[in-house]
Amino acid sequence: MSQQGLRFTLEVDGLLAMSTAVVSFTLHQNLSTPFTLSVDIASGLPDLTATDFLEKNATLTVWQGAVALRYLHGIITGVELRENNHWQMNYQLTVSPPLWRAGLRQNFRIFQQQDIQTISATLLAENDVTDWVPSFYEPHPAREFCVQYGETDLNFLSRLWAEEGIFFFDWFLPTGPDQKLVLCDDVAGVSTFGEMPFNPNTREATTACISAFRYRAQIRPSSVENQDYTFKVPGWPGYFSHHAKNLNGQRTQYEIFDYPGRFKDVQHGQDFARYQAEGHRQDAETAACVSNSPKLWPGKRFTLTGHPSETLNREWQVTGSVLEGKQPQAQHGSSGEGTTLSNHLDVIPADRTWRASPRPKPAVDGPQSAIVTGPAGEEIFCDEHGRVRVRFHWDRYCPGNEDSSCWVRVSQAWAGAGFGNLAIPRVGQEVIVDFLNGDPDQPIIMGRTYHQDNRSPGSLPGTKTQMTIRSKTYKGGGFNELKFDDATGNEQVYIHAQKNMDTEVLNNRTTDVKVDHTETIGNNQSITVGLGQTVTVGKENASGHDRTVTVAHDQRNTTGNDRQVAVGHDDTVTVKNDRKTEVMHDRREQVGNDETLVVGNDRKMSVKGKQEQTTTGDHISLVKGMKSLEVKGDLAQKISGALGLKVQDDIVLESSSRISLKVGGSFVVIHPGGVDIMGPKINLNSGGSPGTAVGTLKPEVLKALTDENGDSPSSSGYEGKEGSKDSSGENESEQPTSEPELNHMFGSIKGINVIQSKELVFRPFAEEE
């Protein structure tokens, strides 16, 4: 391109176009780096200040005659006042793109479930970068948790863009001052300029050309191996690699292994390995060239033609440029060669995509404290892995709710497959957060701590000897607690259950209490023993060996099999109300000595089958009231000795059939047809005796009851004596009764049959004394 007709102008907002003249400028441009334009101007206004320049929009235009060849728009970010030659004041201005502002803002910030385009849009808008466009050919999945940690907005975006294989450049509209920031991830998004011939004779060149071209190749890493870990899939190898192409004969042993790879899925793992490999080899094959055209800059491709080395005649991509223009005649009193323009370019082959080198990620310098957060009104907020959300003290954007951070894992004292320790931090509690490998994107809770509003259990320092595990009732004021008190002489283990307490022992359980054991049950107690139960109270001949059981209300004992109770001495059971005993099968009760049964009121006994009773000694019954005996069938009594009945009133024997009295061959039969008397000898008022009455036995157990009726037992324990004597003390002799006398006595009684016996003796009754 011819140098004739070249001129440069600079327009600054607020200044007249004719008030400044461009003396020279240098424009540095590189992929993924904001451009820097340094402009020397001369002005007839010597009193311009920084206020007249800083933050003002400026546009540099390269002209050839009346045709604008190149525009560059930016903001003035620096000004320097230079020499004054009495005609003009010299100023040096620094012009940068709007993206440059992002390098002045440092922040701590969290982005959740957002992809790179969304994150970029947020930060670019906050830095007034409104003219930008994404040109993406690769997938860029959303990131679960992404932290800007003490980085400037520009460094943070540049790091993310490099991780995602994105490079940026400024695209300029050839016909106007409009320009846009382009985010691109493939060489296909770079515009094509066309052919650019090689012509080393710059003085004779009248068209755009490449006047110098220096090719360079160098050894760079040949492959990248990335590995990472995710707790959601512990067995996942998380290993991805990428081997570079176009090695130009270098060895393949130059491997970059990176851990952690900062990915948690296959897509990011594969892409990150490729992007890093291409970033490490961005300058493995480059060329430096010089052109007279201002229309080549990073973000352009051109095809070199006419070079003596045929291998270099190919398409190249511009990755960096330094555009220099000089216009010395713009300054009064200066002389020079006139207006000149040169463009120094850095290029790479256009068959590959240029990637930025991996940028360092800030590391968190040690643990931090944070506050557990959750929805309004919720006390415990976690996911299926027991993770919680927190609010970091540096997070100015945190709403303090369920969206405060990512789900943060909680370190537990013991963590196994379905076993271990679990204590979920609750909303409002302060926790200690560390970061895996120092990565701010991977927080993990390593501990908890108390603060002024969340005080420890007890009252320190008064309870300094206590170690306590105390929970809190969910949305309540109760608690469960396990406390160890190590105070000298008052050591204690204390367990408190706010409601229920369940203990399950799959085998044996042994409790050894060296002194006293007290249990208080406010309501019911139920003990079920599947097999045997043995309770031993005290030792033989030891003091303090009693056992007292007091139940305020009901007590139920259930024994699945046998039950044996052995009482070494007395056994006393007092029932203040009713007592019921139900035996589903047989019942056997054996008393080694005496048995006394005292019933305060009635006693009822019902036997559905037979009842057999055997008394080895005497059998004594005392009925103070009436006694009634009803036998539905026959009644048989067999008495080996004598039978005595003594009543104080009448004796009535009634039978619907007959009544018989039989002794040997003699008998008396009473039946509806009459009375039959039969015997070898019948004595009336003569002979015989009333016999000896069988006395009532009155042992000590019935003595008190008998004495209530004034009926004292005899010294022998029996009533009556052997034999009967008359008033003279002699035995009455038996006098026979003659048959006429019998007929005289009974003949007039209807229904009495006197059966003739061998001898009939009758004797009138003696008068009572």
> pLDDT for 473-518, tens place per residue?
999 999 999 999 999 999 999 999 999 999 999 999 999 999 988 9
> With contact defined as beta carbons under 8 Å apart, do 685 and 710 qualify?
no
CA distance 733 to 721: 18
Residues in CB range of 160: below 8 A, 6 or more apart: 116, 119, 120, 146, 166
Find how far residue 731's CA is from the centre of its chain: 106
Share of the chain above pLDDT 70, in %: 85
Q: What tokens does 143 get?
A: 């990131």
Q: How confident is the model at residue 37 (pLDDT cuts 50, 70, 90)?
A: very high
Q: How confident is the model at residue 532 (pLDDT cuts 50, 70, 90)?
A: confident
pLDDT single digits (tens) 242-265: 898 888 888 899 999 998 888 888
Q: How confident is the model at residue 725 (pLDDT cuts 50, 70, 90)?
A: very low
Per-residue b or e along 232-241, where b marks 16 or more CB atoms closer than 10 Å to that residue's CB: eeeeeebebb
pLDDT of residue 578: 81
Residues in CB range of 649: below 8 A, 6 or more apart: none
Q: Mapping DSSP to helix (H, G, I), strand (E, B) and coil, where does residue 759 land?
A: strand
Alpha-helical regions (H) of 94-194: 116-126, 153-163
Q: For residue 92, what are the β-bridge partners?
A: 40, 80
Share of the chain above pLDDT 90, in %: 51
Per-residue b or e along 178-191, where b marks 16 or more CB atoms closer than 10 Å to that residue's CB: ebebbbbbebebbe
Q: For residue 227, what are the β-bridge partners?
A: 239
pLDDT of residue 702: 56
Residue 745 has pLDDT above 60, yes or no: no
pLDDT of residue 728: 42
Number of H helices, E strands in the chain: 5, 36
Q: How much is the average pLDDT of 353-377?
A: 94
Residue 149 has pLDDT above 90, yes or no: yes
Residue 767 has pLDDT above 50, yes or no: no
Q: How much is the average pLDDT of 82-104?
A: 90
Residue 337 has pLDDT above 90, yes or no: no
Name the least confident of 257-271, 506-520, 687-701: 687-701
Q: How confident is the model at residue 742 (pLDDT cuts 50, 70, 90)?
A: very low
CA distances from 495 to 479, 481, 485 (A): 11, 6, 11
In this predicted model, which residue has the larger pLDDT, 357 or 609? 357
Q: How much is the average pLDDT of 321-329?
A: 94
CA distances from 64 to 61, 67, 139, 207, 314 (A): 10, 5, 43, 12, 29
Cβ neighbourhood burial of 449 (10 Å; 0-12, 13-18, 19+): exposed
Q: How much is the average pLDDT of 340-364?
A: 94
Residues found in the chain? 769
Residue 223 has pLDDT above 60, yes or no: yes
CA distance 617 to 319: 128
CA distances from 597 to 140, 530, 603, 605, 702 (A): 95, 33, 11, 14, 11
CA distance 372 to 400: 9
Q: How confident is the model at residue 765 (pLDDT cuts 50, 70, 90)?
A: very low
Residue 539 has pLDDT above 90, yes or no: no
DSSP secondary structure string, 470-497? E---TTSS---EEEEE--TT--EEEEE-
> With contact defined as beta carbons under 8 Å apart, do 388 and 100 qualify?
no
The continuous run of DSSP H or E covering 706 comes out as helix 700-707
> With contact defined as beta carbons under 8 Å apart, do 192 and 214 qualify?
no
In this predicted model, which residue has the larger pLDDT, 763 or 588? 588
CA-nearest of 149, 148, 107, 112 to 401 is 112
| Mode of pairing for the β-strands spanning 674-678 and 666-671 | antiparallel
Name the least confident of 24-38, 370-384, 540-554, 702-716: 702-716
Cβ neighbourhood burial of 342 (10 Å; 0-12, 13-18, 19+): middle
pLDDT single digits (tens) 150-170: 999 999 999 999 999 999 999
First to last CA, the chain: 180
Find how far residue 254's CA is from the centre of its chain: 47
Q: How confident is the model at residue 643 (pLDDT cuts 50, 70, 90)?
A: confident
Residue 750 has pLDDT above 60, yes or no: no
Q: What tokens does 761 get?
A: 């003796």
Q: What tokens does 170 get?
A: 């400024």
CA distance 442 to 446: 12
CA distance 16 to 26: 23
Residue 204 has pLDDT above 70, yes or no: no
365-456 under CATH 2.60.120.330, yes or no: no
Mean of all residue pLDDT scores within the chain: 85
Residue 764 has pLDDT above 90, yes or no: no
